[in-house]
Amino acid sequence: MSKRCEPPATFAPAPEASPLRDRLRSALIGAAKAAGVALGLAFPLLAYRTETDFSNALVLQERWAAVAAIALAAFVVRLICLLIPGRTKAASSPRRRRAEFAAIVARSRRLISAAGLASLIAFPLVVLVLLGPARSLKWIDSYGIQILIYMTLGWGLNIVVGLAGLLDLGYVAFYAVGAYSYALLSTNFGWSFWASLPIAGLLAALWGVALGFPVLRLRGDYLAIVTLAFGEIIRIVLTNWTDLTNGEAGVSSIPRVSFFGLPFIAGPEGFAAHFGLAYSPIYRVIFLFYLALALALLTNFVTLRLRRMPLGRAWEALREDEIACRSLGINTVAVKLAAFALGALVGGLAGAVFAARQGFVSPSSFTFIESATILAIVVLGGAGSQLGVALAALFIIGGSELLRELDWLQHIVGEGFDPTQYRMLIIGFALIVIMNWKPRGLIANRTPSVFLAEPRLAAPALAEEGRV
């Protein structure tokens, strides 16, 4: 290869070029290090997969190509990161752009909310018209109702985590109390859904107060761990108290929800016959959808209203600075307890709807992973932001359901490929990324609860630092 072929820029005289060359060299070294680390991390876990053979002993399958790919990817990504000029100078413009974007979102918040509400109300009917009764069942049920239940749970947990700043890792316990309350009341005593619903909510709230009372004096991270412990204890009790809960097998044939007393059944007493319609399970599903929607909207309404009231302001003040709250005569234990009880109440109501939707409950629906998913909805959406939580529920739960639709990838990637197993992997990764990159969540602006002049947003800079 002759020297003339070399591009002159890279071969330029030493004095000017040396910074560039040094930079290139250090970037290459950095990238090599990253590749080395990636190799070290990937080496045993990715390189070998353990499989059991016929005699139930383990054998290893090699996957070196994947290891090489990971190392190469680490090298390239790191190299690009190191070669792209330092962020310090360029930082102002993306930040400003982001602030502008946030302002646009904030201004159009009303519009987005109204559009969202309208599409939620129209959703079952649109699906029904587009797909017909048989095929729309799945969409209204797995997507519609399930997302609404998680939206409600997200909004309920948002009261505790987003507004009051109390990290509750055992939220699923209240969801379980609600679900089991309805399941047991209906199967053992023949209570209807409508009679059980308030009981489910109240029992959950009662548990919230009973569990909350001793622990609410604890510092934030201890509180989180204790709530986690309570959540697990409730699950273990549900699993092992077989006389009451039927243990791992769960409670099945929970009565379906009725149309204010009219059951959704095929016979002449049923809803369809009463209104002169042909029987179809779709009516029940659509009714349940609107029921879940009503519950979600009620939660949202109460939360938005409370934010503008002394109790809600005390929650936010508590999140900002507990000691200052106490110095102003705020009974912080009572205020925390109110947040805990209200959050639990919402969880309990959502649990009853869940039990009515499934017709079956078992302890496996109430694991720590479930709490973590709800927490991820709150954290990703933006702790304290109602709209953000709603959108996060849509993305996370809708996305998880969509993963189920990707079965056809098996034909490409290979047999045994199960896209749904990546769901929690992605959620876990998202939690880390959000905390490091946008700790206040995707929608991080806070609207003041009261104002003298005109509504404005908390400074995005403060929000970005996660101080707000």
Partner 1 sequence: MRAPHTALLSVEHLTMRFGGVIAIDDLSFTAARGEITALIGPNGAGKTTVFNCVTGFYKPSAGRLALTPSGAAAPEDLLALTQSGRRFSETASGEIYLLERMADFEIAQRGRVARTFQNIRLFAGMTALENLIVAQHNALMAASGPGLWGLFGLPSHRARQKAAIETAKYWLEQIDLIGRADDPAGALPYGAQRRLEIARAMCARPALLCLDEPAAGLNPRESAELAALLRAIRDEHAASILLIEHDMSVVMEISDHIVVLDYGEKIADGAPSAIRKDPKVIKAYLGVDDEDEVDLAASGTRA
Partner 2 sequence: MEIFLQQLINGVTLGSIYGLIAIGYTMVFGIIGMVNFAHGDIFMLSTFIALILFLALTQILGVSSVALSFVLAMVAAMALTSLWSYMLERLAYRRLRKSFRLAPLISAIGASIFLSNLVYVLQGPRNRPAPSLFDAVIKVTHGGGYDVTLSAKQILIVLVTALLLAAFWVVVQKTPLGRAQRACAQDMRMAALLGIDVDRTISFTFVIGGALAAVAGVLYILYYGVVNSGDGFIPGVKAFTAAVLGGIGSLPGAVVGGLLIGLIETFWAAYISSDYKDVAAFSILAATLVFMPSGLFGRPDVEKV
Chain positions contacting partner 1, by CB under 8 A = 302, 305-306, 308-311, 313-314, 316-317, 320-321, 323-332, 338, 446, 448-456, 458-459, 461-463, 467-468
- What is 225-238 written as a DSSP string? HHHHHHHHHHHHHH
Q: How far is the CB of 466 from partner 2 (least distance, A)?
A: 4
Selection from 301, 285, 35 nearest residue 137 by Cα: 285
58 forms beta bridges with 52
Beta strand extents in 39-193 (DSSP E only): 48-52, 58-62
Q: Tell me the closest approach of the beta carbon of residue 220 to partner 1, in angstroms.
A: 16
Task: Tell me whether residue 118 or residue 233 sits nearer to partner 2 (CB atom).
Answer: 233
Q: Distance between the two ends of the chain, CA-based, in angstroms?
A: 61
State the nearest-atom distance from the C-beta of 278 to partner 1, in Å: 43
Select the binding partner of residue 56 from partner 2, partner 1, none (C-beta < 5 to 8 A, by kind). partner 2
- Of 47 and 106, the one with the shorter C-beta distance to partner 1 is 106
Q: Which is nearer to partner 2, 45 or 76 (CB)?
A: 45
Q: Give the burial class of 277: count Cβ atoms within 10 A of its Cβ; 0-12 exposed, 13-18 middle, 19 or more buried.
A: exposed
Query: Which residues of this chain interact with partner 2, rule CB under 8 A?
Result: 37, 40-41, 43-46, 48-52, 56-60, 165, 167, 169, 214-215, 218-222, 224-226, 228-230, 232-233, 236-237, 239-240, 323, 368-369, 372, 375-376, 379, 421-422, 424-425, 427-432, 434-436, 439, 465-467
Q: 361 φ, ψ to 5°?
A: -130, 145
CA trace torsion 137, 140, 146, 147 (10° rounding): 160
* CB of residue 237 to partner 2, shortest distance in Å: 7
Name the residue among 423, 373, 369, 91 with its Cα closest to residue 232: 369
Select from 233, 171, 200 the least CA-distant residue to 373: 171
CB of 309 to partner 1, least distance (A): 4
Report strand pairing: 48-52 vs 58-62: antiparallel
Residue found under tokens 């996370």: 396
Quote the CA–CA distance of 430 and 120 in Å, as a whole number: 26
User: What one-character DSSP code corresponds to residue 166?
Assistant: -
Query: Which of partner 2, partner 1, none binds 342 (CB below 5-8 Å, type-dependent)?
Result: none
Burial class of residue 442, CB neighbours in 10 A (0-12, 13-18, 19+): middle
Rank residues 254 and 339 by Cβ distance to partner 1 and give the closer one: 339
Nearer to partner 1, 111 or 450 (CB): 450
Among candidate residues 107, 96, 115, 164, the one with its CA nearest the CA of residue 447: 107
Q: How far is the CB of 293 from partner 2 (least distance, A)?
A: 29
- Residue 258 or 303 having the CB closest to partner 1: 303
Partner interacting with residue 449 (select from partner 1, partner 2, none; CB below 5-8 Å by kind): partner 1
We find the least distance from the C-beta atom of residue 399 to partner 2, in angstroms, to be 15
CB of 299 to partner 1, least distance (A): 13
Q: Based on CB atoms, which residue is closest to partner 2, 201 or 441?
A: 441
Closer residue to partner 1 (CB): 10 or 331: 331
Choose the contact partner of 405 out of partner 1, partner 2, none; CB within 5 to 8 A by kind. none
Residue 55 interacts with which of partner 2, partner 1, none, CB < 5 to 8 Å by class: none
